[in-house]
Amino acid sequence: MTATYDDYLGAHRDLFAHYDDLCVRLSDEQMATRSLCPDWDVRGVIAHTIGVEAVMSGWSPSVEVPPPFEKLGEFVGRAAPLDRDGFTALIAETTGARLAELEGFDPAIVDVSSVTPTGIATYGRFLQVRIFDLWVHARDIAIPLGEPTDDTGFAAETALQEVDDSIGYVVGKKIGLPDGMSIVFHVTGGVDRDISVSVDGRATRVDTVDAPDVEVTADVTTFVLLAAGRVDPQERIDAGAVTWTGDDEWGEKAARNLAYTR
């Protein structure tokens, strides 16, 4: 997937607007609903997710000095006692400040080498991780509330790309597909993509596989949320949201063992 700084900026703008809107329109009862993250209710998810953006504000890409993530607890603690209006104002203030900062950057910043949650890469990869996090947490909220989600567009593609970038590890270490076998994941829905992996000494992402041993099909939300460890594989299998053909044993193992992050 090829992305420009404007792509990353637009995704952040849309996702920030979504979180701002949640604070305005959700009732206190909805805010107290348990999210897909078992330790957090909806309000807790919002505080944590936007708190990371507060931590990112003012930090410059660096290969030596990571963002001051130790300050996240300070933000969450500041948000906890606020009443509804105060919490909404804090979230809007934080997203507004972070967006203004992003809008002021030179687009070339995406190519600057930087610490990221996945190791040394680029600031663009860091922004990809942030979009993944914001997108997944939005579904941590929406699914328990029974709200619809828009699974199209660049943000969905970026969330999927974050999983795609780790698919060799997922297939080799989490699923454990044996040497000499291959698998293709058919991702459907708002984003359509085939992700092919061949195991030849190690599991490697490849462009195509002519005759895969296993083919797994899932919509983009199911695929990403399974990879993020957010949903029960059995529930998604029973609902027909994830299916497989070919080697039945390894198809089932793949569907049950996509989780590589939580």
Cα–Cα–Cα angle for 68, 74, 76, rounded to 5 degrees: 115
Read off the pLDDT of residues 79-122 as tens digits, 9 standing for 90 and up. Answer: 999 999 999 999 999 999 999 999 999 999 999 999 999 899 99
With cut-offs at 50, 70 and 90, classify the pLDDT of residue 2: confident
With cut-offs at 50, 70 and 90, classify the pLDDT of residue 186: very high
DSSP 177: P
d(CA 42, CA 113): 34
| Res. 203: pLDDT tops 90 | yes
User: What average pLDDT does range 226-232 have in this prediction?
Assistant: 96
Average pLDDT for the chain: 96
- The fraction of the chain above a pLDDT of 90, given in percent, is 97
Q: Are 254 and 244 in contact (CB under 8 A)?
A: yes
| Of 150, 234, 245, 230, nearest in space to 191 by CA | 150
Domains of the chain: 5-154 (1.20.120.450), 166-256 (3.30.1050.10)
User: What average pLDDT does range 155-172 have in this prediction?
Assistant: 97
With cut-offs at 50, 70 and 90, classify the pLDDT of residue 262: low
| Res. 38: pLDDT tops 90 | no
User: What average pLDDT does range 10-39 have in this prediction?
Assistant: 97
Query: CA Rg, the chain, in Å?
Result: 19
| Of 56, 34, 57, nearest in space to 45 by CA | 34
Distances (CA, A) of 69 to 23, 106, 131: 23, 24, 17
Read off the pLDDT of residues 57-67 as tens digits, 9 standing for 90 and up. Answer: 999 999 999 99
With cut-offs at 50, 70 and 90, classify the pLDDT of residue 217: very high
What is the pTM for the complete model shown? 0.95
Q: Are 112 and 122 in contact (CB under 8 A)?
A: yes
Task: Extract the tokens encoding 102.
Answer: 């992003």
Q: How many CB atoms lie within 10 A of CB 169?
A: 13
User: What average pLDDT does range 133-155 have in this prediction?
Assistant: 96
